[in-house]
Structure 1
Amino acid sequence: MATAKLALEDGTIYTGNSFGAEGEVDGEVVFNTSMTGYQEILTDPSYRGQIVTMTYPEIGNYGVNSIDIEHEKPSLSGFIVREVSRVHSNYRSEGDISSYLKQHNILAIAGIDTRSLVRRIRSEGAMRGVISTTDLSDESLIAKAKAAPGLVGRDLVREVMSKQNVSWDQKLDEWTETQIGSAIGSGSGTHVVCMDFGMKWNIPRHFASRGNAVTVVPGDASADDILRLEADGVFLSNGPGDPEPLDYAHKTIAQLIGKTPVFGICLGHQLLSLACGAKTFKLKFGHRGANQPVIDLTTGKVEITTQNHGFAVEESSLPDELEITHRNLNDDTIAGVRHRSESAFGVQHHPEAAAGPHDSSYLFERFQEAMKAASVS
C-alpha cells in the first residue's frame, strides 16, 4: 500500500496507507458509528462533500456486491478506517472494498488511529480535512485543509439529484419484505412522487413494495410540475449538506402543503420545516450511525434508528403550525415534526434503514394512511 496522509484544519496530521484511488481530495471529516453497512454508507448521496470515518475498527470483511447500494455510485469525498480486511468472505460478496473504491475513484486511508480522530471530532467538532497520496508535506496539506470549502451555504443537492423524471418499480429484497410483512401491497396503486435531493434507493423500494406507483422527480421540480403528475402524496428525500440555501425547494414545498400529503426524511424533514418558517443550524459533529435512539412522542415508544445528518431544526424558531413528534434521546434535538392543520410531517432519521434497524418503518404506513384519508376526503 502507498503512503497516504490525512490533514485537519486544526493542524493535526495522521499518516497511514492508501487502499483506494490515489490522488488528493478535501471535505468535511465526520464519523459514522455503524458496525456494518459500509457499502450503503459509501453509496449514500447525503455524504457528498464529506470524508467519512468508520468507528468500527475493521472494515471490508464481507466484501461488496451489486445489491447493497443506495445510489449508482459513491458520492462521498473520502473514506477512513482503522484496518481494512485482507480477506472478504460472504455468500453475497462479488469483490473487495479496495477494488470497489479504486473503480469509483474514491480515496481511502487505513492504518491510522481512528479512535483518536473521532475523539478529536467529538471534542472540537467536524472540521475540514484533506487526504492525499501525492502531497505528503504536512505544512502544505494543513494549508489546503484550511482553504477547503465547508458545507455551510453550499448547494450540494444539484450535484447528486436525478436530472429527469423516472418511474420506479424496484422493490425491497425478500428479507426486508419479510420484516415489514403485512405492509406489503398496502398502497394499492397510490401514486407517490418522490422529490430527489440525493435520495437513498431503499426509500422508493419501500414505496414500490407497498404497492405504490412511484415517480422520482428532480429536487428542483416546481409545484406545478409535481401536481400535474396527479400525485396522491409527495415524498421529500434525504440529501447532502446545508438545507438553507435550497430556496427552490422551500418554495415548492410551501406550495405543496395543503394540496397533497407530504412526508419528509432527513434533509426532506429540514426542508419541510424551513418551508413552514423554521430555521436550521449546524450540529457540532452530527448524527451518523445505525444506533441512534429516538422517542416517538405520540406513542412514548423508543426506537433505535439510522441517522446521517449534520444539520438540525432550531427549536426556538419552530412556527406555531408545527408540533414536535420525535426527539433524539442523545442530545434532545428535534427528530420529527408534523403540521397541525395540514397533512405534512417529517422525521430526521431514516425509517428505510439500509443499513440499520427497522424500528421506524411504521412511518411509511402513516404516510399511506394520510394518502388514503386525503383521497377519501
Structure 2
Amino acid sequence: MINKKAKLILEDGSIYEAYSFGYEKSSAGEIVFNTSMTGYNESLTDPSYKGQILVCTYPLIGNYGIPPITSNKKKLKRFFESNNIHVSGLIISYYSDNAFHWNMYKKLSYFLKINNTVGISGIDTRSLTKKLRDKGTMLGKIIISDNVKFYNPDKYNLVYKVSIRKKKIYGNGKYKILLIDCGVKNNIIRCFLERNCTVIRVPWNYNFLNEEYDGLFISNGPGNPKEYKTTINNISKVLICNKPIFGICLGNQLLGLAAGFDTHKLKYGHRSNNQPVILSGTNRCFITSQNHGYVIDSNKIPNGWKIWFKNLNDNTCEGLINFEKSFISVQFHPEASSGPTDTQFIFDVFLKFIKCKKKK
C-alpha cells in the first residue's frame, strides 16, 4: 500500500516527487546508488551504508519480499549482514507490493517500518543515477512530514555507531582471528568460521596489543577512513609484529593509511555486484561485489608494498599486498561472491600465511 506523498531534495536544489512506502519520517544523508538487480536485504543491513540514502537503479524492488529474520547457532542473522537496517533511506522506481518467494517472511515495506527506515518510490532512479554519475554523489533529504537539515556523514565517526561495544568470541577453531569491528558484515564472520577459525571480535578502538591471536583482520565499515585515527594508530603499532594482517573495504584503507599510503574520495564510488578487477601482473579478471566511496591512492607506494588488484573500469587500486610481512587487503568483498565462490580464495591466502607463520 502506497502511503503519503514525499519529496527528495538534493543539495543542488533538484526536487523529485515521490510516495512513501516505508516508515513515515523525514531523513537526510549522502545519496549513493547501487546497480545490483537483487540483494536489497543484504544492502539495507550492510553497516557500510551508515549515513547514506541508497538509490536502487534496478526499476522493480520488493518483488521477493524479505526472508525470515532468524539466526544461526552462532547468533548471526542468516539472510542479513547485521541485526539492523543501516541506510538512512531507500529510493526506488517501483515498489512491488505483490511480493512472492518460497522463503519470503514479510514484505519489504514491513521490514522498513519495523526498522524506522524511510522508503520512497515513484522516482526515475536511472535519471537520478545519471545526475549522481555526472556531478558526483550529493547530500540529499527525503521530506515526508517535517523538514530536516542536510547531513554530511563524512564529517562524523560512523564506525562508533556500528561497531560492537564489548569483545565477543565466535567458534572454537584452530586459528585465532582477531577481528577489528568497524562495521563487519555477518558473512565475513561466517567465512572465517567455515575455515576452522575462532573469531575474536573487538571494538574499533580496542587496544589489542596484548591479545593472543594468529592473524589480524580489519573489517569493512562506513565513512571517511581518515576519521578513525585511533584504529589507524593501533594498526600501525602491530605492523612491526610477525603476524599476518588482512583487510576488506574500509579495512583495506585503514591498513593502507597505517602503512603510509594516502586515500581519496571517488566521484560516485563503486556500489554493485559486478565490478571487474584484475590481478596485477596477470590477465586474470574477477567479478566482485563492492560498496565504497573511498580508495587507496596508488601514486605513492611505500617500500615493500605492491598493488595487488586494480579496477578495470577506472584503474583504481582494489587491493594491497606485502609478501614479506604477510599483509594483504582488498577493496572489494570476497565474502559476497557474485557467483558461487569467486574471490573467497583470498580468505584461504590469509589462512595460508597464518599456517606458514605458525610452523616457523
Give the TM-score normalised by the residue count of structure 2. Answer: 0.93
With over 3 angstroms needed to count, the CA separation of the structure-2 counterparts of 1:349 and 1:209, relative to structure 1, is same
Other-structure match for 2:251: 268
With over 3 angstroms needed to count, the CA separation of the structure-2 counterparts of 1:222 and 1:73, relative to structure 1, is same
The 2-side partners of 1:278 and 1:193 are apart by 23
The 2-side partners of 1:234 and 1:308 are apart by 22
Runs of 4 or more off by more than 4 Å in structure 1? 354-357
Other-structure match for 1:114: 125
1:40/1:355 contact within 8 Å kept: no
Output the aligned Cα RMSD: 1.6
Residue 110 of structure 1, CA deviation: 0.4
Q: Counterpart amino acid of 1:166?
A: K
Deviates most, 149-158 or 49-58 = 149-158
The 5-angstrom pairing of residues 139-150 of structure 1 reads 144=149, 148-150=150-152
The 1-side partners of 2:285 and 2:312 are apart by 9
Residue 340 of structure 1, CA deviation: 4.6
- SS in structure 2 opposite 1:41? helix
Q: Percent identity of the aligned residues?
A: 41
- SS in structure 1 opposite 2:353? helix
Aligned with residue 128 of structure 1, among 118, 139, 142: 139
Other-structure match for 1:189: 174
Residue 341 of structure 1, CA deviation: 2.7
Aligned with residue 184 of structure 2, among 193, 199, 205: 199
1:125/1:285 contact within 8 Å kept: yes
Other-structure match for 1:308: 291
Residue 188 of structure 1, CA deviation: 5.8
Other-structure match for 1:8: 10
Q: Counterpart amino acid of 1:213?
A: T
Q: Counterpart amino acid of 2:156?
A: R
The 5-angstrom pairing of residues 68-217 of structure 1 reads 68-135=79-146, 144=149, 148-169=150-171, 189-217=174-202
CA deviations on 1:225-274 (whole Å, 9 max, x unpaired) are: xx42x111011000001001111111111112242110000000000000
1:306/1:356 contact within 8 Å kept: no
2:288/2:338 contact within 8 Å kept: no
The 1-side partners of 2:142 and 2:104 are apart by 28
The 1-side partners of 2:25 and 2:99 are apart by 25
Q: Counterpart amino acid of 1:73?
A: N
The 1-side partners of 2:84 and 2:280 are apart by 37
Tell me if 1:250 matches 2:232.
yes
1:28/1:128 contact within 8 Å kept: yes
With over 3 angstroms needed to count, the CA separation of the structure-2 counterparts of 1:54 and 1:3, relative to structure 1, is same
Q: Counterpart amino acid of 2:89?
A: G
Equivalenced residues, count: 348
The 2-side partners of 1:14 and 1:89 are apart by 29
CA deviations on 1:102-138 (whole Å, 9 max, x unpaired) are: 0000011101111110000000000000001114xxx
Other-structure match for 2:207: 222
2:337/2:343 contact within 8 Å kept: no
Residue 338 of structure 1, CA deviation: 1.0
With over 3 angstroms needed to count, the CA separation of the structure-2 counterparts of 1:193 and 1:326, relative to structure 1, is same
Give the TM-score normalised by the residue count of structure 1. Answer: 0.89
With over 3 angstroms needed to count, the CA separation of the structure-2 counterparts of 1:273 and 1:245, relative to structure 1, is same
- SS in structure 2 opposite 1:4? strand
CA deviations on 1:187-235 (whole Å, 9 max, x unpaired) are: 96111111100000100100001111111111111132xx42x111011
The 1-side partners of 2:186 and 2:337 are apart by 9
Other-structure match for 2:342: 359
1:202/1:354 contact within 8 Å kept: no
1:305/1:357 contact within 8 Å kept: no
The 1-side partners of 2:199 and 2:282 are apart by 29
Aligned with residue 233 of structure 1, among 211, 215, 234: 215
The 2-side partners of 1:102 and 1:318 are apart by 47
With over 3 angstroms needed to count, the CA separation of the structure-2 counterparts of 1:37 and 1:355, relative to structure 1, is farther
The 1-side partners of 2:340 and 2:181 are apart by 23
The 2-side partners of 1:216 and 1:30 are apart by 29
Tell me if 1:279 matches 2:262.
yes
2:187/2:335 contact within 8 Å kept: yes
Q: Counterpart amino acid of 2:46?
A: D
Aligned with residue 45 of structure 2, among 37, 43, 46: 43
